[in-house]
Amino acid sequence: MSDFLRVEREKDSMNIKEQLLKEIEEAPGSTLKEVLDFLLFVRAKELQQEQLEISLLSESSLAEEWLTPEEDEAWQHL
């Protein structure tokens, strides 16, 4: 990414942060609670998606160890 695009993204990001902070300063408590709940929901959803992606990416490498006759034998009693 070029320095220009990085700087532009940072400026856009700061503008959004500044707008949010301004709105937060002016919002009533009930609105702030709802906004916080929504932000926490979005962050939890992103974390869940990241964990799913990590699981899917690691599945093939783990399968090399798990899908062996030795593993099948070790888990037969269950």
The whole-number pLDDT of residue 7 equals 55
What digits encode the pLDDT tens for the residues 11-23?
A: 677 788 888 999 9
pTM for this structure? 0.51
Secondary structure element (H or E) that encloses residue 32, with its range:
helix 29-66
Other C-beta atoms closer than 10 Å to the C-beta of 27 total: 14
Domain that includes residue 9, residue range: 3-74
Other C-beta atoms closer than 10 Å to the C-beta of 20 total: 13
Q: How many domains does the chain have?
A: 1
pLDDT classification of 42: cutoffs 50, 70, 90: very high
Look up tokens 């990590």; give the residue: 54
